[in-house]
């Protein structure tokens, strides 16, 4: 998770650092059972002269501790489009890796049968509408004749029943027309959202029936990371949302944390899912990323990375003393952006040089 980098040394800087580190190490090795005494002896070595340099006061800084997990990226929107009516594939407009806008036709079925059914439904609707108009006029005439006493009550009731039946026939014909239009629209298979074609399952000329997969696609606009979290972290995870995704040496914030309400009986882990904003990032479904989960806070000694002088496996900083700056060996931990953790060799409230290589260069010029 942490990348450590070592600055390059100039030849003169290498000789100076080698001699200074040799002095420090010789003092430290003189007594392997008393490290603090060796450090005090190194600081009192009369090899440094008073030099003005920017300083940094060492402090213990509360730092969030993270537990790193492997997570896999998946698309929030991914689906397989299937046929909703029977027919033969007439055209396929897109192929794998093509970008499709929402609503575009991805495949066209032969629609001869569906168009014929629509024309039949339209004709039947026109017929029932004509019959309904005639039945409504007949009812109006029957009501007038019945009011004049020229038509019996039974004949009036019959006219009313015929008018109601004709009106119901119109509704039924209208429903059949809507159904035929829907079946015709099924011959044009459209993209439900904008995205990229992942798989194509049919070829031109193939017969399809309802439920037959045609294409699989996904959208890159919304991505999420899925990981399995050990059960010991589950109670802490439910109380916070501050998770980070580390990908391509960049940290991305997360949102919409979802914790599955059960543990896997074999691995005893809880599945978690978080949405990420991948805009402008080269992130694709199926990629592995790092999911960092906060596990608490710890006081660490962090100093500027520029304060450290490194030579091979050795690291040292300039510590300010009453006699000037003295070189002291330190043990490094993890790097946090522009700062680095000191595991041993420094104590809080001590003062060190902010730029170790700059101070080394000044001493070389003296």
> Total domain count for the chain?
4
Token pair for 223 = 């991505």
Is there a single domain that holds both residue 228 and residue 277?
yes
Q: What is the pLDDT of residues 174-228, one digit of tens each?
A: 999 999 999 999 999 999 999 999 999 999 999 999 999 999 999 888 899 999 9
Query: How far apart, in whole angstroms, are the C-alpha atoms of residue 203 and residue 117?
Result: 26
The DSSP secondary-structure symbol of 77 reads S
Phi, psi at residue 185, to the nearest 5°? -65, -25
Is there a single domain that holds both residue 104 and residue 169?
no
Burial bucket for residue 328 (CB in 10 Å: 0-12, 13-18, 19+): buried
H/E run at residue 134: helix 112-148
Is there a single domain that holds both residue 333 and residue 235?
no
The residues that bridge with 336 in the sheet, in sequence order, are 339
The residues that bridge with 87 in the sheet, in sequence order, are 208
Predicted TM-score (pTM) of the model is 0.57
CATH number at residue 178: 1.10.287
Range of the structural domain that residue 197 is part of: 79-109+190-215
CA quadruple 312, 251, 226, 238: dihedral, nearest 10: 100
CA distances from 249 to 190, 219, 293 (A): 39, 24, 17
Say whether pLDDT at 271 is over 80: yes
Q: What is the pLDDT of residues 275-290, one digit of tens each?
A: 888 777 788 888 999 8
Is there a single domain that holds both residue 93 and residue 201?
yes
Is there a single domain that holds both residue 276 and residue 158?
no
Let me know: does 109 contact 88? Beta carbons within 8 Å.
yes
Is 315 contained in some domain? yes
Query: How far apart, in whole angstroms, are the C-alpha atoms of residue 192 and residue 217?
Result: 10
Is 353 contained in some domain? yes
Is there a single domain that holds both residue 251 and residue 286?
yes
Is there a single domain that holds both residue 91 and residue 201?
yes
**pLDDT band for position 244 (50/70/90)?**
confident
Is 178 contained in some domain? yes
Q: What is the pLDDT of residues 296-338, one digit of tens each?
A: 778 899 999 999 999 888 999 999 988 889 899 999 998 888 8
Say whether pLDDT at 69 is over 70: yes
């Amino acid at each position: 998770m942490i990348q450590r980098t070592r600055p390059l040394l100039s030849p003169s800087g290498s000789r100076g650092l080698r001699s200074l580190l040799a002095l420090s190490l010789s003092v430290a090795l003189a007594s392997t059972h008393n490290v603090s005494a060796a450090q005090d002896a190194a600081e009192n070595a009369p090899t440094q002269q008073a030099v003005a340099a920017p300083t940094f006061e060492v402090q213990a800084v509360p730092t969030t501790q993270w537990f790193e997990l492997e997570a896999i990226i998946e698309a929030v929107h991914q689906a397989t489009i299937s046929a909703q009516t029977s027919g033969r594939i007439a055209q396929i407009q897109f192929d794998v890796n093509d970008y499709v806008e929402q609503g575009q036709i991805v495949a066209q079925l032969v629609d001869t049968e569906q168009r014929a059914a629509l024309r039949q439904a339209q004709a039947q609707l026109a017929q029932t509408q004509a019959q309904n108009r005639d039945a409504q006029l007949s009812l109006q005439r029957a009501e007038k004749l019945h009011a004049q006493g020229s038509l019996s009550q039974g004949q009036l009731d019959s006219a009313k029943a015929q008018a109601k039946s004709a009106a119901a026939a119109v509704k039924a014909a209208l429903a059949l027309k809507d159904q035929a239009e829907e079946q015709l629209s099924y011959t044009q298979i459209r993209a439900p959202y904008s995205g990229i074609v992942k798989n194509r399952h049919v070829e031109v000329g193939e017969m399809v029936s309802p439920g037959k997969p045609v294409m699989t696609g996904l959208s890159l606009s919304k991505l999420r990371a899925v990981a399995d979290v050990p059960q010991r972290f589950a109670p802490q995870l439910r109380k916070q949302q501050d998770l980070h995704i580390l990908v391509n040496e960049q940290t991305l914030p997360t949102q919409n944390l979802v914790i599955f309400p059960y543990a896997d009986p074999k691995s005893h882990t809880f599945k978690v899912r978080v949405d990420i904003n991948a805009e402008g990032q080269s992130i694709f479904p199926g990629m592995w990323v790092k999911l960092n989960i906060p596990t608490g806070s710890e006081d660490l000694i962090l100093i500027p990375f520029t304060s450290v002088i490194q030579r091979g496996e050795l690291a040292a900083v300039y510590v300010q003393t009453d006699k000037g700056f003295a070189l002291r060996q330190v043990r490094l931990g993890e790097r946090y952006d522009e700062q680095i953790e000191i595991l041993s060799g420094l104590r809080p409230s001590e003062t060190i040089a902010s730029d170790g290589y700059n101070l080394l260069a000044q001493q070389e010029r003296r």
